[in-house]
Structure 1
Amino acid sequence: MERKTEYSVDDLIDLNVLQQFQDSFSAATGMASISVDNKKGSVTEPSNFTDFCMKFTRGSTEGNKRCISCDINGGKKAASTGKPAVYSCHAGLVDFAAPIIVDGVEIGAILGGQVLDAPPNEDHFRKIAREIGVDEDEYIKALRKITIVPRAQINAAANMLYIFANSISKMGHHNRLLVDETQKFQTISESMFENIGFVSEVVNTFSKQIESLIKISDELLESSTISKNKVKETDKILKFIRDVATQTNLLGLNAAIEATRAGEFGRGFNVVADEVRKLAVMSVDSAKKIETILDSIVVSMNSVESQASKSYKIIGEHQEAMTDISEKLSTLNDISNKLRAEIANLKNSIY
């Protein structure tokens, strides 16, 4: 089960507004009032507090002890019912407690009263003065300044404070929840912005690597073309060598025939002619071997060129995909920036 957030009165209600309302309420009704937080105590200045209560009753040790007991009992009654509690204090005045409830939890109250709901019995109050140890005449003099308010009007006043306090606390609570959700949304937005930035950097790095691969593929294809052209040039040279070797072989053969005709005089020349023919045959064989090797090189170069072309095509497709991703990330980045700005505006409007 999710734990409810614990709030203070000043977390949800503007205390300046609360103070102004409280002062206006007291001036209009003649009743005293003060706002309290369950943890922090008083959160506003007292409004229209009477000398009877503050100077004399609460000003004495015994009187203050009795007042605190009344305050606790009144607060408990209001907390148990979740409604305003109107009660008579130990000194005979009428007080009330209007609870401030948020999400089913009482966080404070507006306390008030310090009025009479009927003309007082002065003998009774003289008795109280003696019990709490204050001057009877001064006590009665202060009593006579107490406003007399019908009980129904006191009940209505307490209910009005209850409605007001809980209405503005509810609005404050909703604003607070909105602020919390906005903060969560901002955290998500910031995380999204950072992730977009990270992905953009990765994509940019990958795009550079692709560009480098394209460059290498271009160079490889160019080198392959150059090598094939050089092989073609070598083919021409080998053809020339074969032609020369063939002609040399024919010349050697003719020389051998002529040396045979010369008889004893051509014997030495016949040996030379044979060696020339052997060299011609060896040249032709070597040329064929070189041609075979070069043919193999050409086949390999063609294979390399084919694979390079395929790679070039795949890399080109990847480059187009990276470009498309970069454009989408740029759009997301713009959206994220606008979102951050809107969240900032929303937070400013809430506060």
Structure 2
Amino acid sequence: MVNLENGVIKLDQLEMSDIIDIKKLQAFLDNFALGMNCAAVSVDRDGNEVTKPSYYRPFCSNFIHRSTIGDARCAKCHNQFGEQAVKNGKPFVGTCHAGMIDFAAPVIVEGEHIGTILGGQILDKEPDDKMIRRVADEIKVNPDELSNASKQIDIVSRKNIEAAAEVLNTVVNQFAQSGYNKLQIEIVVKDLMENLNQISATIGDLAESAQTITENQKSLSEEILDIENAVREIEGIVTLISGTADKTNLIGLNASIEAARLGNDGMAFAIVAREIRNLAVNTKKTSSQITQLNEKISGKVNSTSSKSDESLEATQNQSAAMQQLSATVTTLLTFAEKLNSLFS
């Protein structure tokens, strides 16, 4: 399982199986071992087998590994060869405890050792029968049988062995690097898809809000229009009141003249006439104040109406832009899904 930290692959926890198709690696090692007349197996960073042994020779599989002592010595050699290969950063070729030529090729990704390919179980010269029998005695196996098994080992020049190790190293590390690159792309694409989905959802919310704002702006425009109509109605009423005040003032004036003509008999009538004229004057003054206030209201309403129209237009443009952006994000999301499918 691939572990991430802040979206970055934790290389110290990366395994070969995370980035390499083990079935394909097994098939490659089987064909490589058969074609080169040698054995091969892949192990993880802890030395555990990742693939099954390919073309192990009877000398090793039937005798050396079946001995507890021999198997332990083999494990020690594998560790030593693997450590040396990692240290050198390239394949290491050497002679094992039983006299066979073995090699180790490190699998390294971004400077991190994640596994090793072990191969060999071949000779670059005729087997040393005396040494083979001594090994047989040490690991408690039949000397004659081990000697006969050693004679079945292929003899290959040292140069060819080193070339085979280089080929193995190049191919398997290319598998690993390609798999790692693919994994990185998958992570980036997945992150991209998540971000695009979030953006798409946000755009949807914004578009819905823009639609709501548009509808509210339309309602506001209608209400402003109603206010404009009401202001005009007030103007008409004020005009009517002002005209009535003028007539009332005229009536008061006539009444005052008539009261003056009557003298003392018209004093009460004069008082009423004076109040009528005062009422007319106050009404006229109030009408004038209402007119001034109404003009201010009308100006503010016109200004608000103009700004409302501008806001409505801007909101409609924003809504259209949101729709276009949403379409673009949808297209990008489709591309991301297609890209992701290439690595599925």
Partners of 1:318 and 1:55 in 2: how far apart? 88
Q: Distance in 2 between matches of 1:285 and 1:40?
A: 114
Aligned match for 1:335, one of 316, 328, 333: 328
Instruction: Give 1:325's match in structure 2, choosing from 307, 318, 323.
Output: 318
Q: Percent identity?
A: 27
Determine the structure 1 residue equivalent to 2:235: 228
Specify whether residues 9 and 158 from structure 1 end up closer, same or farther in structure 2 by C-alpha distance, changes over 3 A only: same
Q: Which moved more, 1:189-198 or 1:299-308?
A: 189-198
Residues 57-101 of structure 1, C-alpha deviation per residue, up to 9 Å, x if partnerless? 111111011111111111111111111111111111111111112
1:167 aligned residue: 174
Partner of 2:144: 137
Alignment of 1:14-163 (within 5 A): 14-39=21-46, 41-163=48-170
Q: Partner letter of residue 341 of structure 1?
A: T
Contact 1:31 1:114 in 2 (8 A): yes
Shift of 1:213: 3.0
Instruction: Give 3-state SS (helix, strand or coil) of 2:66's partner.
Output: coil
Per-residue deviation, 1:330: 1.7
**Residues 122, 112 of structure 1: CA spacing in aligned structure 2 closer, same or farther, 3 A cutoff?**
same
Cα offset, 1:123, TM superposition? 3.3
Q: Helix, strand or coil: the match of 1:42? A: coil
Measure how far apart 1:40 and its partner are.
7.0
CA contact (8 A) 2:34 2:55 kept: yes
Distance in 2, Cα, partners of 1:83 & 1:105: 13
Task: Find the aligned partners of 1:235 and 1:294 in 2 and give their Cα distance.
Answer: 6
What is the distance in 1 between the residues matched to 2:247 and 2:294? 24
- Partner Cα separation in structure 1 for residue 47 and residue 34 of structure 2: 26
Amino acid at match of 1:70: C
Distance in 2 between residues matched to 1:132 and 1:143, nearest whole Å: 15
TM-score, structure 1 as length reference: 0.87
Q: Larger C-alpha radius of gyration, 1 or 2?
A: 1
Which amino acid is 1:157 matched to?
Answer: A
Indicate conservation of the 8 Å contact 1:74/1:85, yes or no: yes
CA contact (8 A) 2:123 2:156 kept: yes
Q: In structure 1, what residue type is equivalent to 2:192?
A: F
Q: In 2 relative to 1, CA 238–40 (structure 1 residues): closer, same or farther, beyond 3 Å?
A: farther
Contiguous gaps of at least 5 residues in structure 1: 258-269
Match of 1:264? none
Q: Deviations over 1:9-67 (max 9, x none)?
A: 12222212111111111221221111112147221111111232123111111101111
- Cα offset for 1:187? 4.3
Partner residue in 1 for 2:281: 288
TM (norm. structure 2) is 0.89
Is the 1:214–1:315 contact (alpha carbons within 8 Å) kept by the matching residues of 2? yes
Deviates more, 1:307-316 or 1:40-49: 40-49
